[in-house]
C-alpha cells in the first residue's frame, strides 16, 4: 500500500505577489478537475481539485 503523497498540483499564479511561491495541493489519491481563480485584488487565488477514491 502506497502511503506517500504521490499526486501533486502546483498553481499557475504566485501567492500574494511572491514570485517564487505557489499554492500546491498534494494527495494520496489522483487529482483531477483542478482550477485556480485569480481574485479581484490579484494578490490571492482560490484553488480547488477533486480527488478519485
Task: List the pLDDT tens digit at each of the 53 positions of the chain.
Answer: 557 899 999 988 887 778 888 889 999 999 999 999 888 877 788 889 999 87
pLDDT reported for residue 1: 55
Maximum CA extent, the chain: 43
28, 49 contact by CB (below 8 A): no
pLDDT reported for residue 2: 59
- Entry pTM: 0.72
53, 17 contact by CB (below 8 A): no
What are the boundaries of each domain within the chain?
A: 7-51
Tell me how far apart the alpha carbons of residues 51 and 7 are, in angstroms, rounded to a whole number. Answer: 10
Amino acid at each position: 500500500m502506497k502511503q506517500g503523497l504521490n499526486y501533486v498540483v502546483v498553481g499557475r499564479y504566485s501567492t500574494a505577489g511572491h514570485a517564487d511561491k505557489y499554492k500546491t495541493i498534494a494527495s494520496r489519491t489522483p487529482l483531477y478537475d483542478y482550477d485556480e481563480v485569480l481574485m479581484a485584488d490579484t494578490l490571492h487565488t482560490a484553488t480547488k481539485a477533486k480527488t478519485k477514491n
